[in-house]
Structure 1
């Protein structure tokens, strides 16, 4: 048995213990994952790739939480974050390709969305550069760069999405460490999510403002070059 086999078995045992249920026949077309890698010129970490190829859909019987290495603005008093859904390759609300398109040019290209919490924030995995590759990160949607540009905030030292990490926090050193950190949420934990969530109207007007904000960043980057 290879090391990867051992890690996969450990991951599967942990997810099963957490009450994971899967939908479909659990046979994912390898070409779907390869096409994503080619399209975005990335190389997914091996264990995470095995995860994508093994499960069409992942659901849990009860709420799941995890502890992060770095506390985020969303951390509970005990330092835990919530896990809502893993993104998968099949069609549906949590289709991975839809999520990539939704957040492309909103998160650094060194990280890749793999899941979300219950408040619109992302869990990402590093896919480029040795500094980030394989590590797991939390991306805070309320402090994203595009929103700051839209609000005309002063961002003198920021010229592109790739050098803005003020809203990114380290969760775990690897995908297996992230899986190891997952646990069932204690019923005594009370989340004050509603006080933190700011509703965003994804209207055509809002999307146009986001487009203009990205163009403003691109123009700034070109001037620096």
Structure 2
């Protein structure tokens, strides 16, 4: 109601049950985008649709109710970066544990990570990056390769060796790293459908980065 400024009856009539989630069909949001009298609200509903269908997809053609809660908080300067990270970790971990399944998350962001870290996909010479460098803007400005088929992606992922992956992003300038939360040597990443623990110290040790003794009491 707060996002669309439509009545409670209008909203309630369009909420549908999809599995264990309450969702709003895309066609209902599309109608609001085309017919809402407030142009600003049209833009808000369009942005909400992108978040629900692309960044945090759950049910095909529907926007999950929890995504609308997150979107409502964006006006309060809440950053969605940790949520995107958490949902990416959570979805990939679920696929790995079951040995099957489909990645539920923003495939476009994952593709940016692939092109930034996989040398087999896109080898680039060393560059000097400024403080204000944005990998997303860089990817958008670069012509994307369209010669990598689905079969080729599968072959790349199945045959990756340690030397093929640059785990520290080449555009990331050396700086402080968040490696603990309170008394815990791990960082909880909170997502819209749950939380996952991320242990940066394990990653640093696994990929032979600089070691240091964690802070203790």
TM-score clears 0.5:
no
Decide which structure has the larger Cα Rg and report it: 2
Report which of the two has the higher share of strand.
Answer: 1
Report which of the two has the higher share of helix.
Answer: 2
Superposition TM-score, scaled by structure 1 size:
0.27
Q: Which has the higher contact order (CA 8 A, sep 6+)?
A: 1
Superposition TM-score, scaled by structure 2 size:
0.28
